[in-house]
A and B are shown apart, each in its own frame.
Chain A
């Protein structure tokens, strides 16, 4: 089990975007070790882009991400749209087993402990008895359960979830949210982009309200106030496709 890290995940002056159009601008702050932070904000406020940057999928335009001593194998990232080929001849069990690859390497098919852990994970996400079902034959909720089990198999110290409960049945969403809420106790730092503010208030102690920059970042009680959310929405409405915000971004290579 992952030990509690001394350092969390820090960002300083972080700007991230595509083709020099920043979606995240000058974000600074810290995700404390073993914390569960909800990232909320209007559409296009840079939530997914922030997660991608933390996962190492896109490079910052400016600023820094300090992951402490986390290695790629310590980070589990569940993107909003999975890249899974549902026609591939694969069982749910095979899919969850991919989670072991990062720690065991490509030879990772043989540890007896992994077999038992796989069985345990399938039970935890409520997929007992469906281990041999092809991935293309299950519901969206069941597939998401399996993807959560894969995240758990990765045994990651930093878990990044991008709208993990969108488009799945309420029962699956609640089961998986309850699982997610227990990960900080196991020493994991969890950052989840979420829409359901009721769920955020119930389960996430920390929140980051984003509108390209941080509108509010701290304990959920204070961050998720109607005042902050209104501010975020107004900021988002002030953006205009033809009128990019007047930000100057320092490119590292030009410094």
Chain B
């Protein structure tokens, strides 16, 4: 790790990391539920690599300046998200394939740029994060991303759900409704950028999608799943930070593992079709047959 993390996180750093994790839960988890529902759970993953050239160029121009890194990442993320959304609208390729083309190109460009600069180690910081990077400006960004997501979803939820569940129907209403896909991409990029410097791009995506997957075992409708995903994501984030402080390691990976643990518990005991929940039903059917 390239972080300058000392012996122990200061209380201040722990506090701001906690606030950042909660903001990420509110912004990212509702998007994660939509991505899973649209079978695009790997898209966040893809986007997390897609921001690399932006970060590399920003690093080249301005060094470790946090604002420059954020702007660079956001620009690259928006370009990758925007271009792949446009390509997806042609209907010639599945959404994930449209995405793969742009993120793979972006990843290659990023690797080339960082390699040319001799800073391949920056890639690790990008993907796995450093909580030291979560300063006041980072917190503001995380809060803004969460707010933008919640407001955007509240305003456009019907269109976003419609576009996800029944794109054929939405097409009959007119082309402008295809834009909800773009909205989803933009919000995803924004949340990813808000989280990547502190928790790492990959781990940020994990905190969006793993709790969202777990939420499927607790609720049936979108609203319920989104609420569960936010709660599970926030708990994973806070628990991960606490353990990271205790064991003096970077928190991103621990937060992700906590989310994975909660996923396992949900898949077992979740009230909406968890593995253990379906057993009594089967026994009941067997009873009827006997």
Which residues of B line the A interface, CB within 8 A? 33, 37-38, 155-159, 161-162, 164-170, 172-174, 176-177, 179-180, 216, 219-222, 224-225
Let me know if A23 is at the binding interface, CB within 8 A: no
B220 x A101 contact (CB < 8 A):
no
Let me know if A245 is at the binding interface, CB within 8 A: no
Let me know if A187 is at the binding interface, CB within 8 A: no
Distance between Cα atoms of A150 and B156 in the complex (Å) = 18
Please indicate the chain B residues that have their CB under 8 angstroms from the CB of A55 in the complex: 172
Which chain B residue lies CB-closest to A76? B172
Distance between Cα atoms of A106 and B157 in the complex (Å) = 8
Interface residues in A53-78 (C-beta closer than 8 Å to B): 55-57, 72-73, 75, 77
Please indicate the chain B residues that have their CB under 8 angstroms from the CB of A107 in the complex: 155-156
- Stretch from A39-47, A79-87, A203-211 forming part of the interface with B: A79-87
Whole-angstrom distance from the CB of A72 to the nearest CB of chain B? 5
Distance between Cα atoms of A100 and B177 in the complex (Å) = 13
Distance between Cα atoms of A106 and B161 in the complex (Å) = 11
Whole-angstrom distance from the CB of A52 to the nearest CB of chain B? 10
Whole-angstrom distance from the CB of B289 to the nearest CB of chain A? 23
Number of A-B residue pairs, CB cutoff 8 Å, is 93
Which residues of A line the B interface, CB within 8 A? 55-57, 72-73, 75, 77, 79, 82-85, 87-91, 94-95, 97-98, 100-102, 106-109, 132, 134-135, 137, 150
Which chain A residue lies CB-closest to B159? A106
Distance between Cα atoms of A253 and B99 in the complex (Å) = 35
Q: Tell me whether A72 and B166 are in contact in the complex, defined as CB-CB below 8 angstroms, given that A106-B156, A132-B221 are known contacts.
A: no
Whole-angstrom distance from the CB of A217 to the nearest CB of chain B? 26
A102 x B221 contact (CB < 8 A):
no
B172 x A77 contact (CB < 8 A):
yes
Please indicate the chain A residues that have their CB under 8 angstroms from the CB of B179 in the complex: 106
Distance between Cα atoms of A73 and B164 in the complex (Å) = 20
Distance between Cα atoms of A83 and B158 in the complex (Å) = 17
- Give 9 pairs: A residue, B residue, CB < 8 Å, sorted on A: A79-B168, A82-B169, A89-B219, A89-B220, A89-B225, A90-B161, A94-B165, A94-B221, A101-B177
Which chain B residue lies CB-closest to A154? B173
B180 x A106 contact (CB < 8 A):
yes
Q: Tell me whether A72 and B172 are in contact in the complex, defined as CB-CB below 8 angstroms, given that A100-B158, A106-B156 are known contacts.
A: yes
Which chain A residue lies CB-closest to B36? A89
Distance between Cα atoms of A57 and B226 in the complex (Å) = 34
Please indicate the chain A residues that have their CB under 8 angstroms from the CB of B158 in the complex: 94, 97-98, 100-101, 106, 108-109
Distance between Cα atoms of A102 and B177 in the complex (Å) = 9
